[in-house]
Copies of this chain bind each other. A is one copy, B any other.
Amino acid sequence: MSLVVQKFGGSSVADAASVIRVASRIAQYAKAGHEVVVVVSAMGDTTDELIDLAEQVTPNPPPRELDMLLTAGERISMAVLSMALNNSGVAARAYTGSQAGVITDEVHGKALIQKVTPGRIRSALDAGNVAIVAGFQGVSQGTKDITTLGRGGSDTTAVALAAALDADICEIYSDVDGVFTADPRIVPSARRVPVISCEEMLDLAANGAKILMGRSVEYARRYGVPLHVRSSFSGRLGTIVSDDAERMVPVDPGVTVRIADVPHLDAADPSKELSVDTTDPGLEAPIISGVAHDRSEGKITVVEVPDQPGKAALLFDVVASSGANIDMIVQNSSTTDDTVAISLTLPEADSDVALAAIEQARETIGFSEVRYNNQIGKVSVVGAGMKSSPGVSATLFRSLGEAGINIDMISTSEIRISVVTDISRLDDAVRVIHTAFGLDAEQTEAVVYGGTGR
């Protein structure tokens, strides 16, 4: 009997009707004989409404009290979901993060899980129940206060419980069908990726793919938990995130398959099952597995920084101390004098504090000017195949050049290339890159990643 952890996000349980629909999906698994643990987020806009309420009484809610308030959201959704399951004849019991043994540090609002002691959940399963657990929340080890895990916290709850319970799969349900080779709203021919490695998923997440937070993927990789990202609306197969192609995983009620054998669907025609060729692994490995994009960053350029040892380090020190997260960095030496221009990208939300901190250090660093531009977009290609394919960057730059798209900044890692362009050309950039690497559904030469048995 396999153990399945299923996480449902807020859009999957937006109202009573959605809760009933989700309960019916869970019930199918339970009735097929799987042990099921469900992690659920707050219903629809509940969390935003609770934050609004807090803001009506104070501009600065104390973090401990804010956590207490926000955790009411999952308390409601998990109780209602449990009721719906019981109503459909499936025994279920709901548990708070604290009751489920999600032990965290004491950093309210973005607590880190320290350990999971799922004794009550194990007992509930042994007694024949579906266990429903509140996502996003835990209890601090020292102070026994209620904590929240911050963004993507419910995914992390699900993965952590799956690890602690040695689950066979951790399914992350949302409103999209899985990981695609690019955002289907920008590239209509984008295709679903049936299987992807943890490293690639991490790079996609870090470069703008919103389907999974890197944090939960990191957790899954560390504990060897296979993830299955899929839609609670379609019920179709989604994307399995795993590094172990030989592992057997449940993919539907009563259906367990080897990851290497996971069938995949053509996104252009979801009814069409593509056969998977596992006889020749590696040879047809696609060079890139996906194109990610990000509109949420801005670019700071510091002009005429003295070209002296330590000045650049000082600048980054100042920015880091302001609490801003730096993403990309580019430094250009001037050819005419002894100064350099340093550009960096960072989340737009962090730009104010970073700009203020840099301005304050003007005399110490000795630059002449700071510029800020939020009209930028970042496009990234990610793929494990890049490691052994030196032509990738040439293909990338050529495709952008032919489309007349200027490249502003470039940053690379072993399996990723990111470029910054003007935001007005970002969608074009995603499309031409997707085509250049043969990812479009109609291109016969395209091999969807996962066909090699990873």
Contact B84 A79 (CB under 8 A): no
Minimum CB–CB distance from A221 to chain B (whole Å) comes to: 33
**Is A64 among interface residues, defined by CB-CB distance under 8 A?**
yes
Q: List 9 A-B contacts (CB under 8 A).
A: A16-B57, A58-B83, A58-B86, A58-B87, A59-B87, A64-B93, A68-B78, A69-B79, A75-B75
Contact of A65 among B56, B60, B71, B83 (CB under 8 A): B83
Residue A161 at the B interface, CB < 8 A?
no
Q: Name the 8 nearest CB pairs between A and B, nearest first.
A: A16-B56, A69-B79, A58-B87, A68-B79, A57-B84, A72-B75, A72-B72, A65-B82
Please state the number of chain copies in the assembly. Answer: 2
Q: Which residues of B contact A64 (CB under 8 A)?
A: 93
How far is the CB of A246 from the nearest CB of chain B, in Å?
40
Asked if A267 is an interface residue, CB under 8 A from chain B, the answer is no
Instruction: Mark A289-323 against chain B: 1 for CB-CB distance below 8 A, else 0.
Output: 00000000000000000000000000000000000
Residue among A61, A69, A79, A93 with max Cβ neighbours from chain B (10 Å): A79
A446 adjacent to chain B (CB < 8 Å) = no
Q: How far is the CA of A16 from the CA of B16 in the complex (A)?
A: 26
Q: Which residues of B contact A86 (CB under 8 A)?
A: 58, 61-62, 65
Minimum C-beta distance from A171 to chain B (A): 22
CB distance from A137 to the nearest CB of B (A): 11
Q: Which residues of B contact A186 (CB under 8 A)?
A: none
- The reply to whether B54 and A80 form a contact with Cβ atoms under 8 Å apart is yes
Contact for A76 among B53, B58, B60, B96, CB less than 8 A: B53
A87 pairs with B57, CB closer than 8 A:
yes
Q: How far is the CA of A86 from the CA of B68 in the complex (A)?
A: 14
The CA of A73 and the CA of B69, in the complex, are separated in Å by 10
Determine whether the beta carbon of A68 is less than 8 Å from that of B60. Answer: no
Q: How far is A58 from B89 in the complex, measured between Cα atoms in Å? A: 11
Q: Is A94 an interface residue (CB 8 A)?
A: yes
| Contact assessment for A65 and B93 in the assembled complex, using a CB-CB cutoff below 8 Å | yes
- Determine whether the beta carbon of A65 is less than 8 Å from that of B87: no
CB distance from A33 to the nearest CB of B (A): 23
Measured CB to CB, the closest approach of chain B to A125, in angstroms, equals 16
A79 B66 Cβ-Cβ under 8 A: yes
Residue of B nearest to A99 (CB): B144
Quick one: closest B residue to A23, CB to CB? B57
Interface: A19 (CB within 8 A): yes
Determine if B57 and A20 form an interchain contact, defined as CB atoms under 8 angstroms apart.
yes
Cβ of A50 under 8 Å from chain B: yes
Which residue from chain B places its CB closest to the CB of A120 in the assembled complex? B144
Beyond the given pairs A65-B82, A75-B75, 16 more chain A to chain B contacts, judged by CB atoms under 8 angstroms and listed by A's residue number, are A16-B53, A54-B83, A57-B80, A57-B83, A58-B84, A58-B86, A59-B87, A65-B92, A65-B93, A68-B75, A68-B78, A68-B96, A69-B80, A72-B73, A72-B75, A120-B144
- The CA-CA distance from A120 to B145 in the complex, in Å, is 11
Kindly supply a per-residue 1/0 record for chain A positions 1-35, scoring 1 wherever the CB is within 8 Å of any chain B CB and 0 otherwise: 00000000000000010011001000000000000
Tell me which residues across on chain B come within 8 A of A61, comparing CB atoms. 83, 86
Chain B hits for A92, CB < 8 A: 65
Bound Cα distance from A297 to B71, whole angstroms: 41
CB distance from A298 to the nearest CB of B (A): 32
Q: Within the assembled complex, what's the spacing in Å between the Cα atoms of A87 and B60?
A: 7
Cα(A72)–Cα(B50), bound, Å: 12
A446 to B53 Cα, complex, angstroms: 48
How many Å lie between the Cα of A174 and that of B92 in the bound state?
Answer: 38
Distance from A104 Cβ to chain B, minimum over Cβ atoms (Å): 16
A395 CB → nearest B CB, Å: 53
Set of chain B residues within 8 Å of A65, measured between Cβ atoms: 79, 82-83, 86, 92-94
- A72 and B79: CB pair below 8 A? yes
Q: From A98, which residue of chain B is reached at the shortest CB distance? A: B98
* Known interface pairs A57-B19, A75-B69, A94-B68; A62-B80 also in contact (CB < 8 Å): no
